[in-house]
Structure formats: structure tokens, C-alpha cells
Amino acid sequence: MELINNWPKYYKKDVVSHYCPGCGHGIVHRIVAELLEEMDLGKQAYLVCPAGCAVLAYNYFDFDVIESAHGRGTAIATGAKRAKPGLFVISYQGDGDLSAIGTAETIHSANRGENICVVFINNAVYGMTGGQMAPTSLIGQSTTTSPVGRNPEVDGYPLHITDVVANFPGVTYAERVSVSSPAAIKKTKKAIRNAFQTQVEGLGYSIVEVLSPCPTNWKMTPVQSCKWIDEEMVKEYKPGLLTDRREERRKEKS
């Protein structure tokens, strides 16, 4: 008997994560660890952890990880990449981190076109602090701070931060994917691989937004929350390629 799905080399062996049952973080962690192994980048990998549910991601990854202040992931990633261009820098951030408190850092690092990868986990809620409304929450979505549903007159509209940065000339690759089904997970892996390849070739800023389930704070079962992504969330956040300027950049470089 031969094991087909080996434990990824850069994911710590036999560690049980602190994530809730059905959380999308575990899937994206596995994808990141698998890709670093497949692309042979583990030795120079440098992951910037956010504040949020993934704050303890350094407990699970077996490569260099730094913890950032809330929202400042891309600023730290910028510093690391500029000081040591040989590093492979990934900023792993959630929606409360990247699109709320870290909006300035996100927008300016994207506008500067830093050569970093951003993995953006969008679950439309503040997960770690107990399910408060995030800028990315959907209209009508019930959270602990919007118990009757998000009202656009009071709370504004969902923030499409990836669409915003995708329009910047500095951004090379931007894609929105989800982890709600095995097919979507394969697409996610492909998108993150493209983003990693962008940085390896030195083509500039890449961002992958992952629509991820948060069953605990959505008050659903994990299966229901996957369905909710497919039925409700994709209406607001349409998955697909937002920007791909890799060919232009390759021509500019050569």
C-alpha cells in the first residue's frame, strides 16, 4: 500500500490546527505548503502572517514566518523583499486585515507594484473577534454588529478591494477564486501557482482573493456555508481573472 497524498514537506508534521471545523484557512495553508514544495521555494520562502484567524499560522508552516501588526502585512512584505530580493515573500491576509485596517498599505504596495504575492482570504466577516461586520460583508448579511442585516444606507456597500487594486498599472496578476468545492480548490491552486510564478520571474505584484467559508460566524454547517458561497457570495464577488499583465511585463523585461 502506497500513500498517494503525502503530507506537504513545508507543513509541520502532525499538528492539529486551531481552526474551526470546515474553515477554509486549512485548505489554503495546504495549497501554499504544497506549491512551495512543488516549486522548490521552501528554502527562501518568507510568509507574513496577519492579525486575524491566521495569526497562529506560524505554528503550522515549516519555513520562515513573521507576524505583522494588524493590516501592515504588505508593508512588512515590501521591506523584506527590498532588503533581501532573494526571499520569496508572501503576505497572507484576511479581509478584516487587508481591506479594513490595512487599506492604505494594500493600496500603496499594489500601486508601487512591489514584487510580492498576496493571498487574500475573504470570508465576509471578522472571524477571530467573533463575527462582526467587515467591509466585505454582503448587503443584508446578518452579523453580530448588524443583527438585522447590513444596511447600505448606514454601513455602505461591500468593498471590492481586489477589483480596486486590479485596475492599478502596478498590479501584474489578480484573480478571485473560492474553496467551496473540489473543482474550485483546483482552480485556487492554479491561481496561487500563477501568482507565485509571477514573483519568481520578477514580474511584480500578484494578489489572489480566496472566497472562504466561515461556518462558525455565518451560523451554518460547513456544507451549508460552501453552498452559501456558491449561491450568494459569488453574486457579489464574481470569481475569475481580474488582471493578467504578465505577458506585457515579460516583454518589457526582455
Q: Which residues bind other proteins (CB under 8 A)?
A: 1-5, 7, 11, 16-17, 19-27, 30, 181-182, 185-186, 215, 221-223, 226
Shortest distance, position 24 Cβ to other proteins, whole Å: 7
Shortest distance, position 80 Cβ to other proteins, whole Å: 28
Q: Which of 17, 103 has the CB closer to other proteins?
A: 17
Give the integer Cα–Cα distance in Å for 60 and 19.
Answer: 11
Q: Which of 12, 112 has the CB closer to other proteins?
A: 12
What's the residue count for the chain?
254
Q: Treating both helix axes as pointing N-terminal to C-terminal, what angle do 103-112 and 73-83 enclose, rounded to 10 degrees?
A: 40
Does residue 35 contact residue 192 with C-beta atoms inside 8 Å?
A: yes
Does residue 76 contact residue 102 with C-beta atoms inside 8 Å?
A: no
Q: Residue 222, class by beta-carbon neighbours within 10 Å (0-12 exposed, 13-18 middle, 19+ buried)? A: middle
Q: Which of 83, 183 has the CB closer to other proteins?
A: 183
Shortest distance, position 18 Cβ to other proteins, whole Å: 10
All three cell numbers of 206, joined, read: 500578484
Shortest distance, position 214 Cβ to other proteins, whole Å: 12
Q: Which of 16, 148 has the CB closer to other proteins?
A: 16
